[in-house]
Amino acid sequence: MTLKRIATLCLVVGMALPFAARADDAPGVFKIPGTDSTIKFYGYVQLDTTYDFAGRDPNVEGNDWAVHIANVPLENSAEYRQKKNQMYMTARTSRFGIETSTPTKIGAVGVKLEGDFNASNLESGQSFTNSVLFRLRHAYGTVAGASGTFLVGQTWSNFLDLASYPDTVDFNGPGSIALIRQPQIRYTLPIGPASLAVAVENAPGTDGDDFGNLGGGNGSRVSTIPDFTANLGFSGAWGSASIRGVTRNVKVVDNAAAPTKTLSKQGYGGAASAALKLGGDTLVVHGVYGSGLGRYIFNVGLSVGPNGMLVGANDLTAVEAAAYHVGYTHVWTPAVRSNLVWSQTFIMNPTIGGVDAFDNTVNHRMDQLFVNSFWTFAKNAEFGLEYGWGQRKTFNVGAGGEQTGTQSRITGTFHYNFF
């Protein structure tokens, strides 16, 4: 995910600004005849190629072809030996979007609709026509006035600061952030040089998901209230910074097959991050900690489930976790830049009745390293090449002790904007 693409996405994150460019000052923006509205079409075509020397995800079509360090095969498994020296090419990250802006008495009303083709696809993937499924990314409306911006719809979680996310060739990058888009209602209030965004966001309920269901089956979870997030953002010539918080209530029935009561637990988390301009270079830093965060840290959601809770006999136990990343971008020339990124994720082992809840099948620590360069070889096109290394270590509990899974891959991308 390059900084250019992140800069575009940041328009809808944190300050939640609506699209408001005039038809005569932005490429791809047109005045709609007979209306006061403008419309913008945008998007790109992208080809991503990976070559895994070791540790390829066991299911690139059903899970993800991009980095999933939480799921790489363990080195003592047959799958690890089978998944060496594997290549994968895809154009599934290609995307397009539409934005409109309409001046009204209550303020500028903006609408955004964006999708790509990066949905999981086991039906007609590489075995047939290489077709991939369309995926909704953003679908929301905004009303922006002097008193702030009101946003309703699906977009990045308010618990995410995309400006501080590293510039990687890999489509996922380090799993230290809340890499989730979800339906929400958000209000952003300008406070001098800062902005405060508060939101109520969707809390997954009783339906199934890609990670399985807590409690042992479909219908075991009960969603009654949304998640609540707050994001205090600062920006200036020096860069940007963000302090964020989330609180979420998780309810789970004690027995999915024959429920007798509903268990409840409050989860919480906090994060701080910054993107600092150092001459022509950029330093990004990010740290997050919480209890019961689950999917609000990408690597944790993949390791212990999206809710970050364990079901006990009479109570839920929240799983504590922490993560951070540091990234540095050096600009060699206007057309060439390079990045160095390091990230770690840590999951703590809770106890239930004085006994460790996790054994050596659950991740305890995940390390990730990315080294890359991008070359903008034309006005609307660039090429990126990256070496990525990652390793996951399980808890040293149970027969066989700690286990390790290591990923080593080269990733390349060709990216062509529409204009």
Greater confidence, 64 or 15?
64
CB-side neighbour CA atoms (13 Å) of 18: 28
What's the pLDDT at 3?
Answer: 46
Fold observed for domain 3-417 = Porin (2.40.160)
pLDDT of residue 251: 84
Spell out the domain ranges in the chain: 3-417
Specify the amino acid at residue 338: S
Q: Which of 197, 22, 189 is nearest to 108 (CA)?
A: 22
Token pair of 402, please? 């700690």
The residue whose two tokens read 């993949």 is 302
pLDDT band for position 213 (50/70/90)?
A: very low
Residue 87's nearest CA partner among 46, 49, 59 is: 49
pTM across the whole model? 0.89
Tell me: the pLDDT tens digits for 84-123?
899 999 999 999 999 999 999 999 999 999 999 988 776 5
pLDDT in tens, 281-297: 999 999 999 999 999 99
Residue 394, number of CB atoms within 10 A of its CB: 23
C-alpha of 357 from chain center = 27
Alpha carbon distance 309, 320 (integer Å): 9
Q: Residues 126-134: contacts with CB within 8 Å, 24+ apart?
A: 126/61, 132/90, 132/92
pLDDT tens, position by position, 296-322: 999 999 899 888 888 776 788 999 999
Has residue 209 got a pLDDT over 70? no
Round the average pLDDT of the chain to a whole number and report it.
Answer: 87
305 residue type, one letter? G
pLDDT interval class at 247 (50, 70, 90): very high
Rounded Cα distance, 287 and 367, in Å: 14
Burial-class residue 49 by CB neighbours within 10 Å (0-12, 13-18, 19+): middle
